[in-house]
Amino acid sequence: MSDIRSPTVTPAVRRTWVAELSRSPGSIVRVSGFVETIRDQKRMQFLVLRDRTGAVQLTHEKASDGEIAERIAALTPGSAISTTGRVVDAEQVKLGGIELIIEAIEIASIADSPLPIAADSALEKQIDWRQISLRNPKEFLTFAVQTTLEHAMREFWRAERFVEIHSPKLMGTFSESGAEAFKVKYFDDRSAYLAQSPQFYKQMAMAAGFERVFEIGPAFRAEPSFTTRHGTEFTSVYMELSWIDSHDDVMQMEERWLAHSLAAVAAERGADIKRLLGVQVSIPAIPFPRVTFAEARSIVQEAGLLLPKADDLGPEGERALSAYFAAQYGHEFVFVTDYPASGRAFYHMRHDDRPDMTKGFDLLWNGLEVTTGAQREHRYDRLMQQAIERGYALESLRSYLEFFRYGCPPHGGAGIGLGRLLMIMLGRQSIREVTLVSRTPTRLHS
C-alpha cells in the first residue's frame, strides 16, 4: 500500500560515539561531531573531532583521495562533520592511542572563522556565546549531572508516592511580594503576574487531597539583583506533603531525598566530576544537624560577626554557621529552624506557645541557603488572621484563602533552587555557569 511508507533506511554505517571507538579496532565506523583542531600538512591532514563523549584524531593521506583532501582543506574549527573510516591503533596519538583513517567525509555545516570565544575567554563572553562555550566537556558535564540529579529526585518521589504537578505560571495575583513580580499584559488590558513560586497551587493540591506533590519548573523574580547566586528566572524544585505533625517531618523527607539524590550523582557522575572539575561529591549523613534560629544567632555572634536585622542571619552569618557545623560535626548541611515570624511569609505556621516564632526552616549547604521550607497554616481563620496582621488586602488573596475554607489537612513543604544545588555540588563560582541560558535584569538574549 503506497500510502504508508516504511521508515527511511538508516545509513549503512551507524554512528558510533567517540568514547566507544576503542572497542572497535580494525572496523569501519562513522563518527560525528565538531572539528576542534586542523593540521593541514604537506602530505597528511589531521583533524581532532569532538562529540559529547570525547575527542578522536582523524587522519587523511592527501594523495589517497584528492576530493577528501579538498573538503578537509575547506574546514574551520567548530564546523560540524560526519566521517566514515577505519579505526586503527596508533600509540603515538595522545587521544586514546587510536586514530581514524578517513574514508568519507560529510560536511554538515562550516563554522565562521575565527570563533568569537576561546576556552580561556572571560565568563561574560562564555555566557554570551553559549552555543559555543557549552561544547566544553566541563560545561556539558553540568547538564549531564542535572539530568542524573533530577532523575534521582523523581525516583525518590515516585517511591514515596508523590504526584507530579504543573502549576500555572500566569497568576491573577502575586504569590510572594508584589514588588518582585513581573507584570504581564493579559487580555482586555488586564494584568497578570508571573509566578514567583508554585506555592499557592501546591497548597491547593493539599486541600484537594493529593497528599504529596512535587514540581520542577521555572520561577520568576523581578529583583534587580546582580549577585552570583540570583537570576530573574530560575528552575525551582518544590515538594509539599500532608498529614505531617510538624516541620520536622518535612525536614526528614528532604534530608532523605537529598542524600538519595547526591548518592545517585556520586555513583553515576562522581568520577567525571572529579576528573573534569576536581570536585569530590560527598554523600551527606542522615539526619542533618538542626539548629534553631535563636541558637544559630548565638553561634554566629560567638564567631565575632555583627548580625543584621533581628529576623535574618545574612549571607555572612550563614557562611559562619556552616563553617561552625563543618568544623564541629563534619557536616556540609545544617537546618536552621523556627525563624521569627517577622521575616517569613504570612502563611508559615506559628508555634502555639510562641506566636512570634514560625515552624519555618532554611537549609544551608556549605554556607549558602538552598531551601526555604515550613509547615503551613492550614486553618482558614488563623491564616486569614495572619494575612490581616501582615497588612494584606484580603481581596487580593481571596482565591488563595478559599483553598482552606472547605477542609484541608495539615501540610508543609520546601522549595529548592536547582541551580544553587548544582553550583555548590560542582564547586562553580556563579549560578550562570550551571544555567543553560541565564536571565538577569540586563540579559534577555542568550
79 makes contact with its own copies (CB under 8 A):
yes
Binder of its own copies out of 192, 320, 345, 349 (CB under 8 A): 192
Binder of its own copies out of 110, 276, 283, 368 (CB under 8 A): 110
Please identify, using beta-carbon distances, which residue of 164 and 356 lies nearer to its own copies.
164
Torsion of CA 232, 238, 243, 249, to 10 degrees: -100
Continuous segment of H or E residues that includes residue 99: strand 98-109
What is the nearest approach in angstroms of its own copies to the Cβ of residue 125?
Answer: 13
Contact, 31 vs 100, CB < 8 A? yes
445 makes contact with its own copies (CB under 8 A):
yes
415 makes contact with its own copies (CB under 8 A):
no
**Nearest partner of 343 among 409, 399, 297, judged by Cα:** 297
Binder of its own copies out of 209, 308, 355, 427 (CB under 8 A): 209
CA distance 59 to 38: 10
> Interface mask (CB under 8 A) for its own copies, residues 152-191, using x and -?
--x---x---xxxxxxxxxxxx--------xxxxxxx-x-
266-325: which residues touch its own copies (CB under 8 A)? Answer: 287, 289-291, 295, 299
> Interface mask (CB under 8 A) for its own copies, residues 338-377, using x and -?
----------------------------------------
For its own copies, how many residues bind (rule: CB under 8 A)? 120
85-104: which residues touch its own copies (CB under 8 A)? Answer: none
What is the nearest approach in angstroms of its own copies to the Cβ of residue 42?
Answer: 27
Strand order, beta sheet including 411-417: 163-164, 212-220, 233-242, 411-417, 368-375, 360-365, 333-337, 290-292
Across 122-182, the runs of DSSP E, i.e. the strands, are: 163-164, 170-171
> What secondary structure letter does DSSP report for 104?
E
Binder of its own copies out of 131, 179, 327, 395 (CB under 8 A): 131
437 makes contact with its own copies (CB under 8 A):
yes
Phi-psi region of 2 (alpha: psi -120 to 50; beta: other; left: phi over 0): alpha
Contact, 59 vs 101, CB < 8 A? yes
Place of cell 521575616: 343
How far does Cα 416 stand from its chain's mean position?
Answer: 10
124 makes contact with its own copies (CB under 8 A):
no
405 makes contact with its own copies (CB under 8 A):
yes
Please identify, using beta-carbon distances, which residue of 299 and 424 lies nearer to its own copies.
299
SS3 assignment, position 274 = helix
Query: Where does this chain touch its own copies (CB under 8 A) — which range of 59-67, 346-354, 396-404, 424-432?
Result: 396-404
Buried b (16+ CB within 10 A) or exposed e, 269-296: bbeebeebbeeebebeeeebbbbebeeb
Please identify, using beta-carbon distances, which residue of 92 and 131 lies nearer to its own copies.
131
393 makes contact with its own copies (CB under 8 A):
no
244-263: which residues touch its own copies (CB under 8 A)? Answer: 245-246, 248-249, 251-252
User: Furthest-apart CA pair in the chain: how many Å?
Assistant: 89
109 makes contact with its own copies (CB under 8 A):
yes
**Nearest partner of 65 among 86, 48, 45, 93, judged by Cα:** 45
Please identify, using beta-carbon distances, which residue of 194 and 273 lies nearer to its own copies.
194
Grid coordinates belonging to 388: 490581616
Number of Cβ within 10 Å of residue 390's Cβ equals 12
What is the nearest approach in angstroms of its own copies to the Cβ of residue 168?
Answer: 5
What is the nearest approach in angstroms of its own copies to the Cβ of residue 290?
Answer: 5
422 makes contact with its own copies (CB under 8 A):
no
Binder of its own copies out of 18, 21, 204, 421 (CB under 8 A): 204
What is the nearest approach in angstroms of its own copies to the Cβ of residue 89?
Answer: 26
